[in-house]
Amino acid sequence: MRHFIRIIGFISFTAAAFLFAGCGTASPGPVASSNVNRPLVMPEAAVKRPKIIALGDSLTAGFGLAENESYPYLLQNRLEADGFNYEVVNAGVSGDTSLGGLERADWVLDQENVEVLVLELGANDLLRGMPVDKMKQNLGRIIEKAKAKNVKVLLCGMLAPPTMGAEYQKAYTNAFPDLASEHKVEYLPFLLEGVALKRELNQADGIHPNAEGTKIMTENIYAKLRPMLKQ
């Protein structure tokens, strides 16, 4: 029954998403002129810290939020509060699809000391009605690239509504657990559990979590991520 309610709720969530599918384009922040020609120098201790890469779309990038309200930022604070010495890297790009993530995967995974990849992609594939098989192929290749570098993967799942058609809905919804099983990676069934369709936890577009909703999304991720980490 609980799963049925989640699916019905997600129908409205996704219907709203179709109206705002083009709104997730991020713009770069301002750059201080005094720093333009200054080389980036990372403290040695920071460089050596193991990294958690958050690879995703606007839900990861923190669309409509301040930087310190995005889930990677909140996750960093959560880890440090619990005594974990990891650096969380926000590799989210608003509007990104599974293909966009695949095209960025090599560069993202090429950073030093990457230990975990939190993979959150596929929602924009759904919004654009892209073939599920193609999405699975793209996500599968990202997972394979991560595993080839001995990087652990947490795959974040999404749900599709019946409005997409029964066949598409079934294929899309099953794609994530199928990938997790096939590649033997950790799996979060629904990233927006407890957030989707709740007006008080979402921005005005009805799609992107607000600051409070993002806190819940972060806890959803952390619950699955924590057992994967070294203390």
Question: What is the pLDDT confidence band of residue 157, given thresholds at 50, 70 and 90?
Answer: very high
| Average confidence score pLDDT of the chain | 85
- For this structure, is 208 an active site residue? yes
pLDDT of residue 199: 96
pLDDT of residue 1: 42
E-assigned strand segments in the chain: 51-56, 87-92, 114-120, 152-156, 186-188
Q: From the candidates 58, 70, 94, 98, which is the catalytic residue?
A: 58
Average of pLDDT values for 203-220? 96
Q: Which long-range contacts (CB under 8 A, 24 or more apart) does 226-230 make?
A: 226/82, 228/116, 228/152, 228/154, 228/186, 229/79, 229/84, 229/86, 229/116, 230/50, 230/84, 230/115
Domain annotation covers residue 27: no
Domain annotation covers residue 164: yes
Amino acid at 56: G
Domain annotation covers residue 29: no
Residue 85 has pLDDT above 60, yes or no: yes
Identify which of 105, 180, 115, 110 has the alpha carbon closest to the alpha carbon of residue 150.
Answer: 115
Is residue 202 a contact partner of residue 211, using CB atoms and an 8 Å limit? Answer: no
Instruction: Round to whole Å and give the CA distance between 26 and 149.
Output: 29
Is residue 128 a contact partner of residue 21, using CB atoms and an 8 Å limit? Answer: yes
Average of pLDDT values for 51-66? 98
pLDDT of residue 154: 98
pLDDT of residue 208: 96
Q: Which residues form the domain of 194?
A: 2-18+44-228
Domain annotation covers residue 146: yes
What CATH code is carried by the domain that includes residue 185? 3.40.50.1110
Instruction: Round to whole Å and give the CA distance between 133 and 66.
Output: 35
Domain annotation covers residue 177: yes
Domain annotation covers residue 13: yes
Residue 100 has pLDDT above 70, yes or no: yes
Instruction: Round to whole Å and give the CA distance between 115 and 86.
Output: 9
Domain annotation covers residue 140: yes
Question: What is the pLDDT confidence band of residue 22, given thresholds at 50, 70 and 90?
Answer: very low
pLDDT of residue 28: 33
Average of pLDDT values for 159-187? 95
More confident residue, 136 or 14: 136
pLDDT of residue 162: 87
- For this structure, is 3 an active site residue? no
Looking up tokens 């799996």 gives 187
- For this structure, is 96 an active site residue? no
pLDDT of residue 47: 57
Domain count, the chain: 1
Domain annotation covers residue 9: yes
